[in-house]
Chain A
Amino acid sequence: MTHDEIFAKVRDVLVDALAVDEDEVTPEATLTSDLGAESIDFLDIVFKLEQTFGFKIEQGELFPDNVTQDPELVQNGRVTAAGMTRLKERLPHADFSKLESNPEVTKVGQIFTVGALVNFVERKLGQ
């Protein structure tokens, strides 16, 4: 499957799960800020990706669990340097460019862009 084919399928998943227009789903768009995803939508997206691509996504594999409650990752409302390293190891598909310039915990959602989902699927299919 080519990159463009994967992008098109991911876009269809997001249009369906988040009731957004196709043209809103750009590679740079963040799921929460730009596309309005809320917590349950992440499970919906996981289910729909599993159905679309025929693989199983383990809990925490695509989206991390309880980052904000983990004192090793977050202190004083900011992701620590060690936390950033661990998150990058756990989530190699995510886009950390914006979070690194402003590591406030409220900005963690920015690592989940449409491009990050495409990246995740490409890695998963490549395994």
Chain B
Amino acid sequence: MRWMWIDRVTELTPRKRMVAIKNVTLSEEHLHAHFPATETEAAVPVMPASLMIEGMAQTAGVLVGHAEGFKEKVVLAKVSDATIDADVGPGMTIRYTAEITQIDEQGAATRGTIEVLDHANAETGYQPVGTVDLMFSHLDHNRSGLEFPEHNFVFGDSFKTLLRTSGIEIPG
């Protein structure tokens, strides 16, 4: 489970929308390097924006993969737009909401919003962090003469475990 940046799927409307959460913890190695203390400044552990984009890519990617029963090899092809306006620190929960805006045989476009729940101020509810719009390619329809393995190497055991522990049936 080394490269899983979402913990649980909380909502799935097939071919339309998926919501997933990630709990950020101080035991995550990257928080200690982002940003470490200096001689003059105390450490500032915040979730890297790039990993929040990855979290959205996993959320939206599973939604797109689920749409075709995980038969397509769905790969992130383009970050069309990404805006992250707020920091997320340890002990907070990130919520990713991805929606498919268009999908066809060749790929899909998704729109996404990122929010955060600060459990120390839970009464304020989820607050906006940013937006991430993505494009995915269905690899077998965009081979450019290349050959890929038959088995679906994109959606491996980690994703299957995520779906199963979230109570979502895996098609096929």
Contacts and interface: CB of A to CB of B under 8 A. Distances in A.
Contact of A59 (B78, B105, B144): B105
A43 B101 CA distance: 13
A39 B107 contact: no
Interface in B86-119: 101-102, 104-107, 109
Interface residues on A, range: 10 to 19
A59 B105 CA distance: 8
B152 interface: no
Given A47-B109, A66-B145, A68-B145, A40 B78 contact: yes
Nearest to A17: B80
Contacts of B58: none
Contacts of A17: 80
B78 A44 contact: yes
B78 A69 contact: no
B13 interface: no
A6 B136 CA distance: 27
Given A50-B102, A51-B102, A59-B104, A44 B109 contact: yes
Contacts of B101: 47, 51
Interface in B130-171: 135, 137, 141-145
Nearest to A38: B78
A105 B44 CA distance: 53
Given A66-B145, A68-B145, A69-B145, A40 B77 contact: yes
A12 interface: no
A40 B78 CA distance: 7
Q: Which 8 A-B pairs have the closest CB atoms?
A: A40-B77, A47-B102, A69-B145, A40-B78, A47-B109, A43-B107, A43-B106, A44-B135
Interface of B: 77-78, 80, 101-102, 104-107, 109, 135, 137, 141-145
20 contacts: A39-B144, A40-B78, A40-B135, A40-B142, A41-B78, A43-B77, A43-B135, A43-B137, A44-B78, A44-B80, A44-B109, A44-B135, A47-B101, A47-B102, A51-B101, A51-B102, A59-B104, A59-B141, A66-B143, A69-B145
